[in-house]
Chain A
Amino acid sequence: MSAIKYTAALLLLTCFLFSCEKVIDVELNPADQRYVIEGQITNQKKGALVVISQTTDFENPGTSPGVSGAIVTISDTQGNVYPLKETQQGFYQDSLLLGEPGMSYRLHVTLNGSEYTATSIMPDGVKMDSLFVKPDGSNLSNRERYLANVTYTDPASKINFYRFVQFKNGVKEKNIFIRNDERTDGNQVTAPLRYPADDDNDILPGDKISVEMQCIDQAGYQYWYSLDRGALGDGSAASPANPVSNMQGGALGYFSAHTSETREITAP
């Protein structure tokens, strides 16, 4: 995986030595709008949140507003059904609903006469052992960079998937950080959260860094992986496509039951 990214980076370097970029006009055929449902339930106090929006034409400025009027419920395998309330346009919430690791959850959305469902199993949590910021150490960029690193102990002979979300001074880093344990099963893992070098969002001394570590299920991993590889507009993907989703009924998006742990640190 990472080999490919490095190769891509080198290829880009080669290109960079000679290449040039420019914004072009492309005429895109508009398509019918589709609903986008992002649902999550965690084992932390922020509870369950479902955000419903819509696709919009490429040329349109801004994003599409949230979609109101949906009936949203989350149910578990013990027969409990929790209705979510619309707290602001397109946001459906139950801030008291805590997920339990090992439980399977089902999202059910009724909207304009159509039904959308998805199921996700919350994996057992894996504790973050530490969070620290240190120099990159690799020569991937041509100047000294700081990266956040997370360490954790991967449980042996169990398949695990992880997602990390990094905030710098409250602003989310857009790069998608996901890992599996194919090659690190049962090990103490140090995961540097490496993202493309960019003057605007490099970590500088004094920055407040917070990292959320999520243990996600396989469907969740598959979603973030395929979103990253095929749906973020990257020009080197051979066949861009909508991400692989656990959502049934024709909506885009995902439903993820995951554990969540957040730590904060100030960059030295």
Chain B
Amino acid sequence: MIRLIKLTLCLLLLAAGGSLAQQKQATLAGTVKDAATGETLIGATVRVKQLPATGTVTNEYGFYSLSLPPGSYTLIYSLVGFSEKAFEISLDKDEKLDIALSDQATTLNEVVITADKNDKVSSTQMGAEKLNIKEISTVPVLFGERDPLKVLQLLPGIKSSGDGGSGFYVRGGATDQNLILLDEAPVYNASHLLGFFSTFNADAIKDMAVYKGGMPAQYGGRLSSVLDIKMNEGNNQDYDVSGGIGLISAKLNVEGPIQKDKSSFLLSARRTYADAFLKASSEYRDYRLYFYDLNAKLNFSLGEKDRLYVSGYFGKDDMGMGETFGLHWGNATATVRWNHIFNSKLFSNTSLIFSNYDYNVAIQNGGNQFDIFSQIRDYNLKQEFQWFPNNRNTVRFGVNAIHHTITPGEVTPTGSSSINASELQKRFSWENAAFASNSWQVSSRLNLTYGLRLTAFSAIGEGDFYTVTPAGMVIDTLHYNKGQIAKTYLNLEPRLSASYQLGELASVKASYVRNVQNLHLISNSTASNPTDKWIASNNNIKPEISDQVSLGYYRNLAENRYELSTEIYYKTMQNQIDYRNGANIFSNFDAIETQLLFGKGRAYGSEWQLKKKSGKLTGWISYTLSKTERKIDGINDNLWFNARQDRTHDVALVGIYQLNNKWTLSANWVYYTGNAITFPAGKYQVDGQTAYYYTERNGYRMPDYHRLDLGATMKLRDRKQLKQELAFSLYNAYGRENTYTIEFRDSESVPGRTEAVQTALFKFIPSISYNFKF
């Protein structure tokens, strides 16, 4: 393996070095920031007027590096939503140049957006979607709570898991196959209140990128997508207080400089108070149903070359019924990052990451009182280098080591109880990876990005590991001591992508990517449930592996006002997990693998998006045609069947209209084919009650889903520093009763008959919220 890594690095250097020898160059490097807040800007374009084919894009810390032959140049810095800035420079040695760009939000409507180095046509990345936080704030959402994850689901290829769920399916993957990162820390359960809200508070978020295919080599660990969310750093120029009060939640965001230009802080908090309504009703006053969360970040400039970021997220949900039942769950993440600029060509980031998800269930049940506790906890160290050897190559390489501890379940009796204390074995594992990639501008038209990720996953002791037969019987148990390796899986993940510019306005791209996943979520309910279990690969559970090829075409139309993009993909998945019929995954039994079945999957489809990027009316239409299937030994007579998330058609229409300076109107409409579902083929009686007889898995479909949401934002008159607005939204405006579940039962009105009953969740949910900033 070590030989392989050496070989890879050699190859990378070869490519980089090949063009290094050409001529003497001087390097210009620096950081691009927002003039008003001092926030670093991700993805800002740096172009050279005199050399139209030369340019670069700032990285995730706003850093850029550009090597040019000595000479005089005009550098143009730009980013959507900011005024372009030109800078004259005479370059004869390495120089540092930090640039601040000014927000142009107030004049956005008149500006015709020019082709941007970072738009879909000219960027070399494919399968990626970026979400603008400004866009998120105008799209109407449920309960008026601006939820980035909900807006994400309006993009092609990203499918909502249904009403009231913040889980999403990407290109045929399941909800646990998305790597969700908040400032690099994995978030294991991105939902609040059983999925009605996501853990991401739009106020605290700076940038959101999702990769559906062609994932860069620095990301790994999940099969179908990477959602990389970065928190705001906090204004280092001025104090800002903003907040909002809605029907069921309130939030407050405070940020400002600790030392102007040098350091800043940000604190953002939310609390829902839906339970206040429950308290008001005599029937439900014992119910609890709320969450709160907190985002905090500090950042410090430690001189010219170093920068330190400390960020954290903490969220907690509480639901319960009096003394009888209580369920608390939440995520906590913390990230410490140190940026170091070795020189104008070498950028380094070291991250120390902590991530924790746990839940506690408290039950008092007829004299039995006990708690069930479960947790997944990670310690994670990541070292990454970005090397800019010359203008044609950008090399990234690094290592990542994660230590996972999974506590599947601890039962503690509280008070009088006939329940015994018990604890399932804690499970330990190491997930290590090394990666390297190079983005090589072969010619002014052709770009190649090639990389390799090597992952080594080890299930380690202390613990018992089982030998399980295909029928699910434990035939042997081996004990491993603390730190002893029970099983290691080595996997190589090639990441290749190419883009070719067809003139100024269009491009084609292709990519191949392999992803490996070693943590798997076990759930047997249609709704996302906080008590779903994470389990790690071990001697019986093999890593999930996916291979995806995709091909895309992108074109800007009508003077860059419109952008058309289309991608097709084909993906195969190995070692997919399903459950045995009648599996009891919440059993106290340690060897959960006895309850699992394994198989494979395939997914393919075509995604289209037409986006209007400027003018009074902006928005997009997206359409996805796709197929997702599974073949699991022991299910559906071992034949291929539609995965639950298989949907033939998926349409989303999003429109935002700036009526005047006071009013902004918005609407979105979604339509999709119903999920695949299992219906009975017949019925019979067991012990005097009706049971249903099943012949095939997921052979039917839910009714089609469609919904229209409307939104309007009214700016109220500014008072000195105070800016304020009222936001109205109407979710499901025409009251479509979309199916949440279908139940089969005996008819109450006609004895002997059986009937299918559909439950729909939301019909017209209006909301109003007041937002302010000063």
- Tell me the A residues contacting B by CB distance below 8 Å: 1-4, 6-11, 13-15, 18-26, 28-31, 33-34, 36, 38, 53-58, 61-64, 136-140, 142, 147, 149, 165, 172, 174, 182-192, 194, 222-223, 225-227, 229-244, 252-253
C-alpha gap A182/B580 in the complex (Å): 20
User: Known contacts being A138-B364, A231-B692, is A22 close to B323, with CB within 8 Å?
Assistant: no
C-alpha gap A140/B700 in the complex (Å): 34
- List B contacts of A28 (CB < 8 A): 679-681, 700
Query: Contact: B418 with A56, CB < 8 Å?
Result: no
C-alpha gap A121/B755 in the complex (Å): 37
- List A contacts of B531 (CB < 8 A): 3-4, 7
- List B contacts of A24 (CB < 8 A): 703, 742, 756-758
Q: Given known contacts A15-B759, A235-B741, A241-B694, what 5 new A-B pairs fall within 8 Å (CB)?
A: A20-B737, A38-B687, A138-B366, A139-B321, A242-B693
B132 within 8 A of A: no
Binds A, one of B79-87, B282-290, B476-484: B282-290
Query: Contact: B757 with A23, CB < 8 Å?
Result: yes
A48 to chain B, nearest CB (A): 16
- List A contacts of B194 (CB < 8 A): 7, 10-11, 14
C-alpha gap A240/B681 in the complex (Å): 12
B440 within 8 A of A: no
B582 to chain A, nearest CB (A): 3
- List A contacts of B680 (CB < 8 A): 28, 58, 233, 240
Query: Contact: A13 with B287, CB < 8 Å?
Result: yes
Query: Contact: B587 with A182, CB < 8 Å?
Result: yes
User: Known contacts being A230-B582, A231-B694, is A6 close to B325, with CB within 8 Å?
Assistant: yes
C-alpha gap A255/B588 in the complex (Å): 26
Query: Contact: B750 with A61, CB < 8 Å?
Result: yes
B466 to chain A, nearest CB (A): 17
Query: Contact: A61 with B525, CB < 8 Å?
Result: no
Query: Contact: A3 with B756, CB < 8 Å?
Result: no
User: Known contacts being A7-B529, A243-B582, is A138 close to B691, with CB within 8 Å?
Assistant: no
B656 within 8 A of A: no
- List A contacts of B635 (CB < 8 A): 239
Residue of A nearest to B765 (CB): A18
- List A contacts of B364 (CB < 8 A): 138
- List A contacts of B193 (CB < 8 A): 14
A162 to chain B, nearest CB (A): 13
Query: Contact: A38 with B686, CB < 8 Å?
Result: yes
- List B contacts of A225 (CB < 8 A): 582, 584
- List B contacts of A241 (CB < 8 A): 581-582, 678, 694, 697
Query: Contact: B693 with A25, CB < 8 Å?
Result: no
C-alpha gap A140/B320 in the complex (Å): 10
- List A contacts of B754 (CB < 8 A): 58, 233
- List B contacts of A7 (CB < 8 A): 194, 327, 529-531
C-alpha gap A62/B580 in the complex (Å): 31
B4 within 8 A of A: no
- List B contacts of A63 (CB < 8 A): 684-685, 690, 752
Query: Contact: A190 with B761, CB < 8 Å?
Result: no
A188 to chain B, nearest CB (A): 6
B414 within 8 A of A: no
Query: Contact: A236 with B582, CB < 8 Å?
Result: no
Residue of A nearest to B411 (CB): A183
- List A contacts of B611 (CB < 8 A): none
Please report the total number of B residues contacting A with Cβ < 8 Å.
Answer: 95
C-alpha gap A208/B620 in the complex (Å): 65
B365 within 8 A of A: yes
B539 within 8 A of A: no
Query: Contact: A26 with B697, CB < 8 Å?
Result: no
Query: Contact: B527 with A11, CB < 8 Å?
Result: yes
Query: Contact: B284 with A238, CB < 8 Å?
Result: no
A53 to chain B, nearest CB (A): 6
Query: Contact: A233 with B744, CB < 8 Å?
Result: yes
B110 within 8 A of A: no
Residue of B nearest to A149 (CB): B366
A260 to chain B, nearest CB (A): 13
Residue of B nearest to A191 (CB): B366
Contact with A along B325-346 (1 / 0, CB 8 A): 1010000000000000000000
C-alpha gap A2/B370 in the complex (Å): 11
Contact with A along B748-774 (1 / 0, CB 8 A): 001011111111111101000000000
Query: Contact: B694 with A242, CB < 8 Å?
Result: yes
Residue of B nearest to A226 (CB): B582
User: Known contacts being A22-B737, A63-B685, A235-B759, is A183 close to B752, with CB within 8 Å?
Assistant: no
Residue of B nearest to A152 (CB): B418
B358 to chain A, nearest CB (A): 14
C-alpha gap A38/B758 in the complex (Å): 31
User: Known contacts being A34-B693, A233-B744, A237-B526, is A138 close to B682, with CB within 8 Å?
Assistant: no
Question: 28 A-B pairs, CB-CB below 8 angstroms?
Answer: A6-B321, A7-B531, A10-B194, A13-B287, A15-B740, A21-B760, A22-B760, A23-B757, A28-B680, A29-B681, A36-B686, A56-B684, A58-B681, A58-B744, A63-B685, A63-B690, A138-B321, A138-B322, A142-B284, A222-B582, A227-B691, A235-B741, A236-B527, A240-B678, A241-B697, A244-B580, A244-B582, A252-B684
C-alpha gap A10/B286 in the complex (Å): 12
Query: Contact: B582 with A229, CB < 8 Å?
Result: yes
- List A contacts of B755 (CB < 8 A): 23
Query: Contact: B324 with A138, CB < 8 Å?
Result: yes
C-alpha gap A197/B86 in the complex (Å): 71
- List B contacts of A232 (CB < 8 A): 689-692
Which 8 A-B pairs have CB atoms at the shortest separation, nearest pair first?
A: A226-B582, A235-B741, A233-B744, A192-B366, A31-B681, A138-B324, A139-B322, A244-B582
Query: Contact: A190 with B692, CB < 8 Å?
Result: no
| Among B418, B524, B588, B745, contact of A237 (Cβ-Cβ < 8 Å) | B524
| Among A186, A190, A226, contact of B366 (Cβ-Cβ < 8 Å) | A190
Most buried by A among B194, B325, B526: B325
- List A contacts of B703 (CB < 8 A): 24
C-alpha gap A58/B683 in the complex (Å): 6
B168 within 8 A of A: no
C-alpha gap A222/B681 in the complex (Å): 22
- List A contacts of B742 (CB < 8 A): 24, 26, 235
B303 within 8 A of A: no
Query: Contact: A239 with B579, CB < 8 Å?
Result: yes
